[in-house]
Structure 1
Amino acid sequence: MKMKAWIGIMFAAATSLLAGCGDDVGKVSLGVFTTKDVIIEARQDPKIPGVTCHISRIEANLDFADPSDMGIACRQTGPILPADLANIDKSHGGEVVFKASLSILFKSLKVRRIYDVDSQTLIYLSYSTKETDGSHKHSLSTVPLYGTQAWQAPAAQNGEPAAKN
């Protein structure tokens, strides 16, 4: 009995800490007879302030369920400059830009930014660090740089001159 009380207290503390992460922009109840809600948060990329990601996830207060599903949609919400791209990790693994603890069961939500040089696109991958039903839950969103100040015309190919802007 003491263990259940301790777990309940730790869960409530973790939930209250998570509430301070990001800007909550929406909350939808999943029904009268459930304690689960869909939370929508807005997060600005810390190195590329012209990109905002909206992340939806299940919040299960007072529930020992361990939901891992999430969704992500990232969009250009301001200028994206060449100087912004100069400061990001351009490796194939990219870098973690957001991280939040989702439960006392050692699960967290991470969002990783990866830069696709060939298509000049920022890729945002959200994923759960805990395996659920044999797979890690994940979701993907892209922000093309075309039309931004950071976009560069492709180099000449096959001896033809590069396109002019």
Structure 2
Amino acid sequence: MGRVIAALLALAATQAAADQVGKVGVDWVGNDIVVEAFHDPKVPGVTCHLAYFERSTIDRLRNGNWFEDPSNSAIECSRTGPVVPGDIARGPKGEAVFSEGRSLIFKSLRVTRIYDEPNGVLVYLVHASQVAEGSAKMSISTVPVDRAP
């Protein structure tokens, strides 16, 4: 059990923190689309903007689903400096760079970085992760890496 907790703490320490840069109301009950920015913690020069739906208290009470937000999200990542991948995961499963809870316990919104090394591109995939049932809703963004001369 101690190893599991240590692994979770280490994973959280390597993931990015996000700053809210926008919040747009979408209806009369107070539902919003939130836009957050975060920097890839292991690849300087990459900034991602993540947009997701945030349910209001009125919507939660009206629909009876108090503890969960929808999985809808979008991502766009940009080069904001030199992009040189350092010590990052290079396998097809990629590496988690951001995670944010979307329900009380069982659902999170995640950004996974996958390095497409043959093409010199970092792929950022945003998706929901659930314990029981996954979601097919996703979005991707790509950022070219700097190649050695």
TM category, shorter? 0.7 to 0.9
TM-score calculated relative to the size of structure 2: 0.76
Q: RMSD of aligned C-alpha atoms? A: 2.2
- Return the offset for 1:130: 3.2
Distance 2:143 2:25 in 1: 30
* Structure 2 residues without counterparts, runs of 5 or longer: 1-16
User: 1:136–1:130: structure 2 CA closer, same or farther, 3 Å change rule?
Assistant: farther
User: 1:134–1:127: structure 2 CA closer, same or farther, 3 Å change rule?
Assistant: closer
Q: Secondary structure at the match of 1:123?
A: strand
User: 1:70 corresponds to which residue?
Assistant: 73
Distance 2:93 2:120 in 1: 16
- Return the offset for 1:22: 1.0
Distance 1:102 1:135 in 2: 13
**Number of residue pairs the alignment of both structures matches:** 125
Correspondence list, 1:1-20, <5 A: none
User: 2:121 corresponds to which residue?
Assistant: 121
User: 1:40 corresponds to which residue?
Assistant: 35
2:114 and 2:124 in contact (8 A); partners too:
yes
Moved more, 58-67 or 119-128: 58-67
User: 1:144 corresponds to which residue?
Assistant: 144
Distance 1:103 1:134 in 2: 14
Q: Which structure would you say has the larger Rg? A: 1
Structure number having the greater strand percentage: 2
Overall identity of the aligned pairs, in %:
42
